[in-house]
C-alpha cells in the first residue's frame, strides 16, 4: 500500500500532514502475514430536526453523512464506523420523534456498501433506551443486544467499548444520566481483558468517550476509569491505536506506545464544506489518517525493532 495521498483525495481533505512514532510488537506484523486495511471513521452527527444551536447544525447532518458515505463507497474502504452520537433529540424530547431521527440518519449510513459499525454515544440514549438504539442500527455480524463487541477483518482485530452505564452497572436510558458519566461495568472489563488475551492480531479500539485524560473547562470527557483501560491495553502489547469522538475537537496523544486519536464532530458548522470524517489506513509500515474537509491528515510511522 502506498502512503502517497492521491491528488483527488488531497483536494478533498484539509491535509495538514504530521509525523509521529508509536511502538508495536514486531511479531504482530510477521513477514508471513502483512495485513493492511482501510476504513472510514465519522462521529458526532447529532442528527435531529431542530434549529441550529451554537456551532451545531443538526438538520444538516443527513446531507453531510450522505456526502461522507459517497466518498467511502468511491474509495471502496473495508468498513465504516460511527464513533457515537449518531442522532440527537429535539427540544420537546419526544421518544417517537427521536426514534424517527435515528431511523433517518441510520438510513443514510446504510447507503454505505460494506460492513458498518457503531459506538454508543451519550446522546444516542437521550429520549430512548439503549435497547431501542441497538435495535435501530446495524453492527454487521453482531447480535442486536450487544453494545460492546469485537470483530476481525483483513488480519486486524477491532474492539468497540460501551461506557454508557451507571455506577450500579445499569444501562443509561432515556437521558437518565450525567453527560460526563462514562462507566464501564465489571462484566465488560472482564470481557475486554479476555478479548485482548485471546487475539493474536494487531488491534484497534473504538470508544465514544476518550480513554485518556481529556478535560475542557474542568469538565471530564473521558471514561471514568480510563487508567484501567490503558493498563489492560499496554499489558496486551497488541493495541496500536484508540479512536474516539465526543469532544468535537481533534486531539492526538501517544501514551506508552498507543496512539489516541480523537476526531471532529460532523454536526459542527454550516454547510458541506464544513463536513468532517476520515479514512484510516494501516499496515506494517504505519497508520495514516486521510482527513476530509475540516478533518486534518496525519501519518504515524511504526518504530522498527
Mean pLDDT in residue range 138-166:
98
pLDDT interval class at 62 (50, 70, 90): very high
| pLDDT of the residue at 10 | 37
Cβ neighbours of 238 (radius 10 Å): 22
If we measure between CA atoms, which residue out of 298, 278, 296 comes closest to residue 288?
Answer: 298
Residue 33 within a domain: yes
Residue 185 within a domain: yes
Q: What's this model's pTM, rounded to 2 decimal places?
A: 0.91
If we measure between CA atoms, which residue out of 252, 297, 261 comes closest to residue 278?
Answer: 297
pLDDT at 21 over 90: no
pLDDT tens digits along 155-182:
999 999 999 999 999 999 999 988 888 9
Strands 116-118 and 251-255: unpaired
- The CATH number linked to 155 is 3.60.21.10
Task: Please tell me whether residue 293 adopts helix, strand or coil conformation.
Answer: strand
Residue 1 within a domain: no
pLDDT interval class at 302 (50, 70, 90): low
Q: Are 44 and 248 in contact (CB under 8 A)?
A: yes
Mean pLDDT in residue range 80-94:
96
Please report the sign of the dihedral spanned by the C-alpha atoms of residue 199, residue 303, residue 119, residue 222. Answer: positive
Residue 5 within a domain: no
Query: Could you give the count of Cα atoms lying within 13 Å of 69 in the half-sphere of its Cβ?
Result: 20
Residue 9 within a domain: no
* Maximum Cα–Cα distance across the chain: 58
Q: What stretch of H or E contains 220?
A: strand 219-220
Name 96's Cβ contacts closer than 8 Å, sequence gap at least 6: none
DSSP string, 147-207: SSEEEEETTEEEEE----B-TTSPBP-TT-S-TT-----HHHHHHHHHHHHH--S-EEEEE
Residue 242 within a domain: yes
Residue 2 within a domain: no
Structural domain total, the chain: 1
Q: What's the rounded Cα separation, in Å, for the pair 171 and 262?
A: 24
- Cell, residue 266: 460532523
pLDDT tens digits along 257-286:
999 999 999 999 999 999 999 999 999 889
Host domain of residue 217:
19-302
User: What φ, ψ does residue 67 adopt, rounded to 5°?
Assistant: -65, -40
Residue 13 within a domain: no
Q: What's the rounded Cα separation, in Å, for the pair 167 and 61?
A: 32
Q: Are 250 and 295 in contact (CB under 8 A)?
A: yes
| pLDDT of the residue at 86 | 98
Helical segments of the chain, H only: 7-12, 61-75, 95-109, 130-135, 186-198, 226-236
Among 24-28, 65-69, 108-112, the minimum mean pLDDT is found in 24-28
Amino acid at each position: 500500500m502506498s502512503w502517497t495521498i492521491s491528488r483527488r483525495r488531497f483536494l478533498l481533505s484539509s491535509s495538514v500532514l504530521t509525523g509521529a512514532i508509536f511502538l508495536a510488537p514486531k511479531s504482530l506484523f510477521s513477514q508471513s502475514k502483512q495485513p493492511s486495511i482501510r476504513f472510514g471513521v465519522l462521529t458526532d452527527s447529532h442528527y435531529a430536526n431542530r434549529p441550529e444551536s451554537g456551532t451545531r447544525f443538526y438538520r444538516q447532518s443527513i446531507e453531510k453523512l450522505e456526502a461522507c458515505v459517497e466518498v467511502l463507497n468511491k474509495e471502496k474502504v473495508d468498513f465504516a464506523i460511527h464513533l457515537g452520537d449518531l442522532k440527537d433529540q429535539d427540544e420537546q424530547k419526544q421518544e417517537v420523534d427521536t426514534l424517527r431521527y435515528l431511523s433517518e440518519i441510520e438510513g443514510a449510513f446504510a447507503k454505505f456498501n460494506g460492513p458498518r459499525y457503531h459506538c454508543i454515544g451519550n446522546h444516542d440514549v437521550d429520549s430512548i433506551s439503549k435497547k431501542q438504539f441497538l435495535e435501530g442500527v446495524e453492527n454487521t455480524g453482531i447480535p442486536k443486544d450487544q453494545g460492546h463487541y469485537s470483530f476481525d477483518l483483513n488480519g486486524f482485530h477491532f474492539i468497540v467499548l460501551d461506557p454508557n452505564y451507571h455506577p450500579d452497572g445499569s444501562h443509561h436510558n432515556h437521558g437518565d444520566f450525567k453527560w460526563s458519566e462514562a462507566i464501564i461495568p465489571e462484566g465488560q472489563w472482564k470481557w475486554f481483558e479476555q478479548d485482548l488475551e485471546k487475539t493474536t492480531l494487531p488491534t484497534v479500539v473504538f470508544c465514544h468517550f476518550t480513554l485518556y485524560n481529556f478535560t475542557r473547562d474542568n469538565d471530564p470527557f473521558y471514561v471514568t476509569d480510563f487508567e484501567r483501560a490503558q493498563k489492560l491495553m499496554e499489558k496486551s502489547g497488541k493495541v496500536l491505536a484508540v479512536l474516539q469522538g465526543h469532544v468535537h475537537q481533534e486531539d492526538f496523544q501517544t501514551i506508552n506506545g498507543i496512539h489516541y486519536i480523537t476526531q471532529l464532530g460532523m454536526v459542527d458548522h454550516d454547510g458541506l464544506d464544513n463536513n468532517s470524517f476520515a479514512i484510516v489506513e494501516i499496515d506494517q509500515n504505519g497508520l495514516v489518517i486521510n482527513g476530509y474537509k475540516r478533518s486534518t491528515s496525519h501519518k504515524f510511522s511504526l518504530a522498527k525493532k
